[in-house]
Amino acid sequence: MVRFNPKARLDRSRVRDAGSGGGGGGFGGSGMRIPIPTGRGGIGGVVLLVVLFVVARCAGIDLGLGGGGGGGLGAAYSPSRLSDAEQGTDRYAGCETGEDANRSADCARVAIENSLTDFWSGQRVRGWQPISALTTFSGSVSTACGQASSAVGPFYCPADQGIFLDTSFFDTVLEPELGAPDEPFVEFYVLAHEYGHHISNLQGFMNQVRSQQGPTSDATRLELQADCYAGLWAQHATTTEDAAGQVLLQELSNADIENALKAAAAVGDDHIQRKTQGQTNPETWNHGSSAQRMHWFRVGYEGGDVAACDTFSASESEVLGRG
């Protein structure tokens, strides 16, 4: 079980809560709206639409979602631009130390963002800068990529370089519907995966996405790269530090890593399709199978480095986890 260093100081500057957006129907804007399936029959769309949006956005496909003109990524979002009335709730106001993170899931979220930012700041990432913000919300939220509802699930928006998360996703979809463990490290894996998309964005890999379906498509390679980056962070998580040099995470157990792998398996395309359709169709995949996702998490975790996570240079056999 993850244990945070009680002496570590938490930096809340990039974590905010937007409160309730009052529902919504998925990504909106002045143009096309993407239908988001709901209910037990729609869990495939909950997870799969995240990458469909990111891939389309980064491949230059205009979904009419607003944010950033001329097909570009738009100006980076910053919470400091918001008026006091728009800053959201004080959900994270009490998150000051690692001891707070040991007691509170909200404060643990802050600590994980701090850990991810510290880890990636020490890697050779082209154009390095941290995410603009990790924003939690309920119902719906406005982003530079457009309006998003809770049904979309956790996502990274390249237009404002931020991660957005309705934390109820874990209790309402990922655990009961997809069978992921009800354990804290499941959320930490998801956050690390979404932060991985930020690294892919900075490195220019998102702009390389052309093919969007299939077990070795560019869309799948992008998702597997994020899983690899998540594993890479997990490998070094207990060495990450706060601004004063205090270690943030004191302990990361084998059980935590197993829970991450189980979560990766739960969001594999084949697993989701069996749950929703009773059969699988690899030609429609855009996240990768359970086996692929677990494989690439392990590539990062078991001694890999940033270069080892270059899924875009990997052969088809390597992408499939057979290399």
Quote the pLDDT of residue 303.
Answer: 80
Q: What is the reported pTM?
A: 0.83
Task: Report the pLDDT value the prediction gives residue 9, as an integer from 0 to 100.
Answer: 98
Would you list the domain boundaries of the chain? 3-319
- CA distances 208 to 203, 218, 299, Å, are 10, 7, 21
Query: Which DSSP string do the residues of 128-167 spell out, in sequence order?
Result: ----SEEEEEESEEEETTEEEEGGG-SEEETTTTEEEE-T
pLDDT recorded at residue 133 = 98
pLDDT given for residue 88 in this prediction: 67
Between CA 250 and CA 24 the distance in angstroms is: 40
How does pLDDT run across 114-132, given as a tens digit for each residue?
Answer: 999 999 999 999 999 999 9
Q: How far apart are CA 199 and CA 258, in angstroms?
A: 24
What is the pLDDT at residue 151?
Answer: 85
Q: What parts of the chain have a pLDDT lower than 70?
A: 21-88, 323
List 294's β-bridge partners, or say none: none
